[in-house]
């Protein structure tokens, strides 16, 4: 079955496809299994057993290629040779654990049976061992055991993702999401009407973020959103001030008990903080670093409810964009909204 079954990493379409197969223990998704070994014979042998088990083997002769594959492919399990010339399996395991956020099981392939050797492997971040020469029955059994764990982990990850969706936290940045913001705003708006204290909001929209994504890639875009939220958050000093991700590259700051001039001060501080952070954005016509346009409003403009307050801030962002970006703009009420138009049009009694 194995002849030529080893997958080429450039074939990315295949990598995204997840298939399932049934064993006596239930349903399992097929795994992408990476074999890192400097011996060609060993790579061939282990790959053949992997393919026979219905999984997809990937092979690398050393650390460099192994890391490249891990970068491109969704690998579920790694078989790692210990004795390799440039970087040994323990060192490479340590590096992978440092670089990769999510856990991938790593099983060492080793000729050494010494206790100290086994201990070192586990300490460097490995999960299990298989002794060389490889026994195909043992290897196959370990793959089955790992498939069970990988499957459970996938289910757990999916459950965690849906829990996050139900919660008020944005999964990417870890700050409050739009649902959380709406809830907080509702609560703070009630306080404002009861206590007659001014409430302000700052709406932020990153400038030219599409160009960032298009040129640097979506992954760097995601990193950038995280960095952005850290920079903005560092400008908020009061415990009640809250930054939320409104959606995509749009954020909003809720400032209860804060007057309009206080919100404008935060707007200025954010412009400075972004200029200091200098998150590179070569493709922005505004500046060589990441900037944002902001719209500021407060309850002093007599919004009739909290939804109108957000609309006002959104309008002000639009104005800041039109005026050239990398700035804040304060909401300007139209005359009739403020009742001034009505006053001006009143006829003499």
Residues 201-240 that bind ligand GH3 (CB under 6 A): 205-210, 213, 218, 221-222, 225
CB 206 within 8 A of CB 228: yes
Q: Which residue is nearest to ligand GH3 (CB)?
A: 221
Binding mask 230-259 for Mg ion (x = CB under 5 A): -------------------xx---------
The enclosing H or E element of 23 equals: strand 20-23
By CB under 5 A, tell whether 79 contacts Mg ion: no
Is it true that the peptide bond before 144 is cis, omega within 30 degrees of 0?
Answer: no
How far is Cα 219 from Cα 65, in angstroms, rounded to an integer? 21
By CB under 6 A, tell whether 249 contacts ligand GH3: yes
Residues facing 44 on adjacent strands: none
| Beta strands, E only, 24-144 | 26-29, 32-36, 56-60, 77-81, 106-110, 128-131
By CB under 5 A, tell whether 331 contacts Mg ion: no
Residues 175-234 that bind Mg ion (CB under 5 A): 205-206, 209
Residue 83's binding partner among ligand GH3, Mg ion, none (Cβ under 5 to 8 angstroms by kind) is: Mg ion
Residue 278's binding partner among ligand GH3, Mg ion, none (Cβ under 5 to 8 angstroms by kind) is: none
Question: Would you give the DSSP letter of residue 25?
Answer: T
Residue 210's binding partner among Mg ion, ligand GH3, none (Cβ under 5 to 8 angstroms by kind) is: ligand GH3
How near is the Cβ of 106 to Mg ion at its closest, in Å?
15
Residue 316's binding partner among ligand GH3, Mg ion, none (Cβ under 5 to 8 angstroms by kind) is: none
CB 245 within 8 A of CB 239: no
Binding mask 318-347 for ligand GH3 (x = CB under 6 A): ---x---x----------------------
How near is the Cβ of 185 to ligand GH3 at its closest, in Å?
21
Residue (76 or 249) nearer to ligand GH3, CB: 249
φ/ψ region of 310 (left if φ > 0, alpha if ψ in -120 to 50, else beta) reads alpha
3-state helix, strand, coil in the chain (%, to 5): 45, 20, 35
How far is Cα 170 from Cα 272, in angstroms, rounded to an integer? 25
Give the residue numbers marked as catalytic: 249
Residues 95-154 that bind ligand GH3 (CB under 6 A): none
φ/ψ region of 341 (left if φ > 0, alpha if ψ in -120 to 50, else beta) reads alpha
By CB under 5 A, tell whether 81 contacts Mg ion: yes
Q: Interface residues with ligand GH3 (CB under 6 A)?
A: 205-210, 213, 218, 221-222, 225, 248-249, 321, 325
């Amino acid at each position: 079955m194995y002849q030529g079954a080893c997958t080429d990493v450039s074939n990315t379409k295949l990598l995204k496809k997840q298939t399932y197969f049934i064993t006596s223990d239930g349903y399992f998704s097929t795994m992408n299994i990476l074999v890192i070994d400097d011996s060609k014979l060993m790579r061939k042998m282990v790959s053949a057993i992997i393919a026979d088990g219905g999984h997809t083997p990937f092979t690398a002769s050393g650390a460099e290629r192994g890391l490249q594959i891990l970068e491109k492919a969704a690998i579920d399990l790694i078989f790692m040779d210990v004795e390799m010339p440039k970087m040994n399996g323990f060192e490479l395991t340590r590096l992978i654990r440092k670089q990769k956020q999510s856990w991938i099981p790593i099983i060492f392939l080793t000729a050494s049976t010494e206790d100290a050797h086994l201990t070192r492997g586990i300490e460097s971040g490995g999960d299990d061992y298989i002794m060389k020469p490889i026994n195909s029955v043992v290897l196959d059994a370990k793959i089955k055991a790992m498939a069970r764990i990988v499957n459970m982990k996938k289910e757990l990850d999916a459950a965690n993702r849906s829990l996050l969706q139900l919660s008020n936290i944005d999964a990417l940045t870890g700050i409050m999401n739009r649902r959380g913001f709406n809830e907080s705003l509702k609560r703070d708006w009630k306080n404002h009407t009861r206590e007659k204290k001014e409430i302000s909001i700052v709406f932020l929209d990153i400038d030219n973020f599409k160009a960032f994504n298009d040129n640097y890639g979506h992954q760097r875009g995601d990193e950038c959103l995280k960095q952005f939220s850290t920079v903005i958050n560092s400008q908020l000093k009061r415990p009640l001030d809250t930054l939320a991700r409104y959606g995509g590259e749009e954020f909003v700051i809720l400032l209860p008990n804060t007057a309009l001039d206080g919100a404008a001060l935060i707007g200025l501080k954010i412009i400075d903080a972004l200029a200091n952070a200098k998150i590179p954005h070569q493709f922005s016509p505004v500046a060589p670093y990441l900037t944002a346009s902001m719209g500021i409003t407060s309850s002093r403009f007599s919004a009739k409810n909290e939804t109108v307050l957000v609309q006002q801030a959104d309008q002000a962002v639009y104005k800041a964009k039109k005026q050239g970006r990398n700035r804040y703009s304060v909401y300007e009420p139209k005359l009739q909204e403020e009742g001034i138009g009505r006053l001006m049009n009143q006829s003499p009694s």
